[in-house]
Structure 1
Amino acid sequence: MGSAGENIVLELEEDDLIESTPVIGKIRNFQISRVPSSSIAIASLSSSSSFSLRRASKAIFSSVNTVVFKAKMNVLIPFGPLAIFLHYLTGKHGWVFFFSLIGITPLAERLGYATEQLAFYTGPTVGGLLNATFGNATEMIISIYALKSGMIRVVQQSLLGSILSNMLLVLGCAFFSGGIMHYKKDQFFNKAGVAVNSGLLLMAVMGIMFPAVLHSTHSEVQYGNPELSLSRFSSCIMLVAYASYLVFQLKSHRSLYNPIDEDVEHDSDGTEEEEAPLITQWEAIIWLSLLTILVSILSGFLVDAIQGASESMNMPVAFISVILLPIVGNAAEHASAIMFAIKDKLDITLGVAIGSSTQISMFVIPFCVVVGWIMGEPMDLNFQLFETATLFITVLVVAFMLQDGTANYFKGLMLILCYLIVAASFFLHVDPDDN
Structure 2
Amino acid sequence: MRRKLFFTGLIVTFVLSGIAHYAHWNEMFQFVVSAIAVIFVAGFLGQATESVSHYAGQRLGGFLNATFGNAAELIIAIFLVKAGSFETVKASLTGSIIGNLLLVLGLSVLMGGLKFKEQVYNAKLADHNSTLMMMAVIGLFIPAIFVTAEHFSPEADRFLSITVAIILIVCYLLWLIFSMITHKDMLADSDDTSSGHGEEPIWSKSRSILYLVVATVMVAFVSEWLVHTLHGVSSRFGLSELFVGAFVVAIVGNAAEHSAAILLAMKNKIGAAVEIAVGSSLQIALFVAPVLILISTLFGPTMDIVFSPIELAAIGVAVFIAKSVSSDGRTNWYEGVLLLMVYVILGFAFYLV
Superposed, 1:101-112 pairs within 5 Å as 101-112=35-46
Tell whether the 8 Å contact from 2:57 to 2:189 is kept in structure 1 after alignment: no
1:116 corresponds in structure 2 to: 50
Q: Which residue of 86, 94, 100 maps to 2:34?
A: 100
Residue 188 and residue 295 in structure 1: after superposition, are their counterparts in 2 closer, same or farther (change >3 A)? closer
2:324 corresponds in structure 1 to: 400
Partners of 2:192 and 2:24 lie apart in 1 by 57
- State yes or no: 1:179 paired with 2:118: no
Q: Structure 1 stretch 283-292 or stretch 190-199: which is displaced more?
A: 283-292
Tell whether the 8 Å contact from 2:223 to 2:252 is kept in structure 1 after alignment: no
Percent identity of equivalent pairs: 33
Higher relative contact order (CA 8 A, sep 6+): 2
RMSD (Å), alpha carbons: 2.3
Deviations 1:293-327 (A, max 9, x none): 22222333333333322212211122222112222
Tell whether the 8 Å contact from 1:242 to 1:362 is kept in structure 2 after alignment: yes
Q: Which residue of 324, 331, 334 maps to 2:258?
A: 334
Partners of 2:134 and 2:326 lie apart in 1 by 14
Q: What TM-score, normalized to structure 2? A: 0.91
Residue 215 and residue 256 in structure 1: after superposition, are their counterparts in 2 closer, same or farther (change >3 A)? same
- State yes or no: 1:321 paired with 2:255: no
AA aligned to 2:66 is: A
| Count of residues paired in the alignment | 351
2:338 corresponds in structure 1 to: 414
2:132 corresponds in structure 1 to: 200
Residue 207 and residue 98 in structure 1: after superposition, are their counterparts in 2 closer, same or farther (change >3 A)? farther
Superposed, 1:76-91 pairs within 5 Å as 78-90=12-24
Deviations 1:176-198 (A, max 9, x none): 1111112xx32222121111112
1:242 corresponds in structure 2 to: 172
1:210 corresponds in structure 2 to: 142
Partners of 1:273 and 1:197 lie apart in 2 by 25
1:164 corresponds in structure 2 to: 98
Partners of 2:130 and 2:334 lie apart in 1 by 21
Partners of 1:78 and 1:192 lie apart in 2 by 44
Partners of 1:236 and 1:77 lie apart in 2 by 41
Superposed, 1:59-78 pairs within 5 Å as 69-71=4-6, 75=9, 78=12
- State yes or no: 1:278 paired with 2:213: no
Structure 1 unaligned runs (5+)?
1-64, 264-271, 430-435
Tell whether the 8 Å contact from 1:169 to 1:419 is kept in structure 2 after alignment: yes
Q: What TM-score, normalized to structure 1? A: 0.75
The structure number with the bigger radius of gyration is: 1
Tell whether the 8 Å contact from 1:186 to 1:408 is kept in structure 2 after alignment: yes
SS at the partner of 1:227?
helix
Q: Structure 1 stretch 289-298 or stretch 361-370: which is displaced more?
A: 289-298
SS at the partner of 1:375?
coil
Partners of 1:391 and 1:171 lie apart in 2 by 15
Structure 2 unaligned runs (5+)?
none
Partners of 2:221 and 2:298 lie apart in 1 by 23
Tell whether the 8 Å contact from 2:219 to 2:256 is kept in structure 1 after alignment: no
Partners of 2:5 and 2:203 lie apart in 1 by 13
Partners of 1:237 and 1:349 lie apart in 2 by 28
2:296 corresponds in structure 1 to: 372
